[in-house]
Amino acid sequence: MSVVVRTSGDPLALAADARRTVASLDPEQPIANVSAVSDLAAVSLSQPRFNVVVLSAFAAVALVLALAGVYGVMSYSVALRTHEIGVRLALGGRSRDIAALVVRYGMSLAAAGLAIGLGGALAIGRLMSGLLFGVTPADPIAIGGAAALVILVAFAACYVPARRAMRVDPIVALRRDS
């Protein structure tokens, strides 16, 4: 059995008065665990909050790994294609076309990964539905926001190698690989 007392001041300051009132009604009633509702709410929400913090940390690590992975693949691709980029530039190709080529390639890889990831997210969403608060496993706003963030990170990871590809000196590229 529980007794709840509403107060406008400090709830624990009324604990002694509440104990006396209950004792005057029935001296045999034990009184234990006097606490504020805000403390009870904090205790009941501690596990879901911990889950959110852990899952957010994993999501942040996954995002950083995605950024590093796409950047690494694109940097390696640009390094391998330095001769080709030099030939394109020597034949009159524009720097921004080279950058668009690199970004388009990187974004196509990111789009393929995103499609696989979205399929996995929809498949595993039902298993994680107990951890979701206020959204459904297939919530289009949440999934769309996550997809947009991944695309933005992939674009940022493609941007630096694309800038490097724009600055390739055709003479140096052609001489080095001959």
Is the pLDDT score of 105 beyond 80?
A: yes
pLDDT in tens, 18-44: 788 888 888 888 877 777 777 778 888
**Are 161 and 75 spatial neighbours (Cβ–Cβ below 8 Å)?**
yes
Q: How many CB atoms lie within 10 A of CB 105?
A: 18
Q: Give the range among 10-14, 79-83, 90-94 with minimum mean pLDDT.
A: 10-14
pLDDT in tens, 117-176: 898 888 887 777 776 777 787 888 988 999 999 999 999 999 999 999 888 888 877 776
Q: Which residue has the higher pLDDT, 174 or 102?
A: 102
* Residue 119: both structure tokens together: 């399929």
Residue 177 has a pLDDT of: 54
Is the pLDDT score of 93 beyond 60?
A: yes
Mean residue pLDDT across the chain: 85
**Are 5 and 14 spatial neighbours (Cβ–Cβ below 8 Å)?**
yes
Is the pLDDT score of 178 beyond 60?
A: no
**Are 157 and 106 spatial neighbours (Cβ–Cβ below 8 Å)?**
yes
Q: What is the dihedral of CA 20, 26, 30, 33, to 10 degrees?
A: -50
Residue 20 has a pLDDT of: 84
Residue 101 has a pLDDT of: 92
